[in-house]
Amino acid sequence: MAVVWIAVAVALIGFELHHLAFFAMFGAVGAVAAALVAVFEPSAYGLQTGVGVVVAGVGLVAARPQVSQAFAKRGPGVSIRGVHGGLVGARGVTLDEVSLDHRGHVRLLGENWLAMTVDAESIPPATPVIVTQVVGTTLTVRAVEHFWEDTP
């Protein structure tokens, strides 16, 4: 049974590396704890499950807020608060041409978004942009010279 718990831990770590939400990581720690119990008590499935759930729960409650906060403070970029209004000021890069009359796409925070510009000039692909407004699910963006350029 320990092998099964280790397989669950590996799968959860893989999921965490893809999403970085800091939930699956604590499930993986709980699965490792359950695997350790399984080594000593191979037939105590309830105990294994209980230890896994308790360890994961304690990690979520006690450690996840600090891990999330520490991760948010590292590196350049903006901290996104809320759903749409929090996107204003976020930086991204155009995937295709974005203009006033043609909606293009912007890669922002790991997702592709519809985008348009209010400027008369088109923004070519692979151009750093900053979000100035959000209408529905369409971003209004303007080109910036560098990703770290401040908003005016």
pLDDT in the model for residue 146: 63
Mean pLDDT is highest, among 23-37, 68-82, 127-141, for: 23-37
Q: Are residues 48 and 96 in the same domain?
A: no
The residues with which 139 forms a beta bridge, in sequence order, are 115, 134
Averaged confidence pLDDT in the chain: 84
For the segment 119-140, what is each residue's pLDDT rounded down to a tens digit?
878 999 999 999 988 888 889 9
Using the Cα atoms of residue 26, residue 29, residue 31 and residue 34 in order, give the sign of their dihedral: negative
Given this model, what pLDDT does residue 90 score? Answer: 86
63, part of any domain: yes
Tokens representing residue 17 in the block: 């590396």
Q: How many domains does the chain have?
A: 2
> Which pTM does this prediction carry?
0.49
* Displacement of CA 89 from its chain's centroid (Å): 18
pLDDT at 77: 52
Q: Give residue 43's domain range.
A: 2-73
pLDDT of residue 73: 60
